[in-house]
Amino acid sequence: MRRLGSFGPRVSAVSLGAMSISGTYGPSTEAETMRLFSRAVELGVNHFDTSDIYGLGRSEELIGRYLRESRADIVVSTKAGIRYMPVTGERRVDNSPAHLRNALEQSLKRLGRDHVELFYIQRREAARPIEEVMETLSALKKEGKIGAIGLSEVSPETLREANRLTRVSAVQSEYSLWTRDAERSLIAACDECRAAFVAFSPLGRGMLTGHVLDPATFSKGDFRLNNPRFQEPAYSQNRAAMAVFEKLCERLGKSPVEVAIAWVLSAGEHVITIPGTRTAEHLEVNVAAADFRLTQNQRAEIAAAFPDGFPWGDRFSSAQAIGIEPTV
Ligand SMILES: NC(=O)c1ccc[n+]([C@@H]2O[C@H](COP(=O)([O-])OP(=O)(O)OC[C@H]3O[C@@H](n4cnc5c(N)ncnc54)[C@H](OP(=O)(O)O)[C@@H]3O)[C@@H](O)[C@H]2O)c1
């Protein structure tokens, strides 16, 4: 267990990312998802991460159904700030007070809750003053609709600026052995602001699990079909690097999932991670990985073998990178 921000609730260090249950990396059934949630609770996972954009509300609806039926006590984090335009299929960042309020109301309806414990701006709208955004979030907090404020994919500067205005409890950004950018300053900036750093995609969207992926079999709509790291020639180069990673794990006597999750959690005591999966079986493996701690020597050895920037291809295509701020 770790604290979700210095003043936040204690949550499982390995929490559950609920994006995959809405089709990001292939299909899943509602029954499979209910089984996943029940197993999560049995294993002590008490924090689910979602967003209004995951399956355009589907992920929140499924969590809502589970919470209604089980009455489980879960810390729910959700996000808003990316709008999907159904006519053009375009996504746009919108941090306006009207949009954030309306999006949160819709999320609460789907979740069947009158509040969420943590509410993130999923992307910062560059042209909108941060003062206005934090004012909107503070008002939602005062009204009891959100327990704490989070920011996602922001720079250390935005975090510091925002935190000077109102407490930021968590920053969420991509962090794993194959996306190490946050180590340069964002993880330290979170510590300095007493915010949790919530590492998303800790398993490299499936690459760091030891399972050999075949992009030719990805289903229609799979996020990775348009992701540079999964396009040739990058994919084959990245797969070759993964074979080296798997050998290193073998030498440590640990599975790739154990090492990948231990890597993320050893970046700081304020780090929480939210691996995503559709199945109870994979969840069990991910949660069990929290028991393994890397020594400093092991971390140094892994860092040297897989330096920041080693993968081929950017972590997002230009269309996927909408609203991303640099982590340095
Ligand atoms: N703030 C943001 O903008 C943002 C962006 C992306 C993600 N997120 C959050 O971060 C969470 C996690 O990120 P992610 O889902 O992109 O990536 P991830 O956790 O790195 O990887 C998920 C992939 O790994 C596979 N996997 C998981 N556990 C496995 C295991 N034990 N063995 C083999 N394969 C396994 C999953 O397939 P199976 O389903 O088959 O297990 C899925 O394809 C999301 O659910 C979401 O909550 C936030």
Q: Is the CB of 277 under 6 A from ligand 1?
A: yes
Across 127-138, average pLDDT: 98
State in Å: Cα 202 to ligand 1 middle. Answer: 7
Rounded to two decimals, what is the model's pTM?
0.98
| Peptide bond just before 233 cis, omega within 30 deg | yes
CA dihedral 272, 199, 106, 42 (to 10 degrees): -40
Does residue 263 carry a pLDDT above 90? yes
Residue position matching structure tokens 């440590």: 252
Q: Is the CB of 122 under 6 A from ligand 1?
A: yes
Q: Could you report the per-residue pLDDT of 17-29, keeping only the tens digit for each?
A: 999 999 999 999 9
* pLDDT confidence tier of residue 326, bands split at 50, 70 and 90: confident
The pLDDT assigned to 328 comes to: 74
Tokens read off for 116: 């969420």
Q: Is the CB of 179 under 6 A from ligand 1?
A: no
Q: Is the CB of 18 under 6 A from ligand 1?
A: yes
| Choice among 25, 54, 66, 120 that is catalytic | 54
The pLDDT assigned to 89 comes to: 87
Atom of ligand 1 nearest to the CA of 152: 1
Q: Is the CB of 286 under 6 A from ligand 1?
A: yes
The pLDDT assigned to 189 comes to: 98
Contact predicate 40/74, CB 8 Å: no
Query: What radius of gyration, in Å, describes the C-alpha atoms of the chain?
Result: 19
Q: How far is CA 287 from CA 63, 66, 251, 262, in A?
A: 19, 20, 22, 11
Atom of ligand 1 nearest to the CA of 223: 16
* 175 is annotated as an active-site residue: no
In angstroms, rounded to a whole number, what is the distance separating the alpha carbons of residues 268 and 255? 21
Across 221-250, average pLDDT: 98
Kind plus residue range of the DSSP H or E element containing 16: strand 16-17
The pLDDT assigned to 137 comes to: 98
* pLDDT confidence tier of residue 167, bands split at 50, 70 and 90: very high
Amino acid (1-letter code) at residue 7: F
Mean pLDDT of the chain: 97
What lies within 8 Å, CB to CB, of 197 at 6+ separation is 170, 171, 173, 175, 182, 186, 187, 190, 191, 267, 268, 270, 271, 272
Atom of ligand 1 nearest to the CA of 28: 39
Which domains are assigned to the chain? 2-305 (3.20.20.100)
Across 169-189, average pLDDT: 97
Across 239-254, average pLDDT: 98
In angstroms, rounded to a whole number, what is the distance separating the alpha carbons of residues 135 and 227? 35
State in Å: Cα 59 to ligand 1 middle. Answer: 13
Give alpha helix (H) positions in 91-220. 97-111, 130-142, 156-165, 186-192
What lies within 8 Å, CB to CB, of 189 at 6+ separation is 156, 159, 160, 171
Q: Could you report the per-residue pLDDT of 73-93, keeping only the tens digit for each?
A: 999 999 999 999 989 989 999
DSSP state of 87: T
Q: Is the CB of 147 under 6 A from ligand 1?
A: no
* pLDDT confidence tier of residue 144, bands split at 50, 70 and 90: very high
- Probe residue for ligand 1, chosen from 20, 78, 211 as the CB with the greatest number of ligand atoms within 8 Å: 20
* pLDDT confidence tier of residue 327, bands split at 50, 70 and 90: confident
Q: Could you report the per-residue pLDDT of 269-294, keeping only the tens digit for each?
A: 999 999 999 999 999 999 999 999 99
Residue position matching structure tokens 């798997």: 246
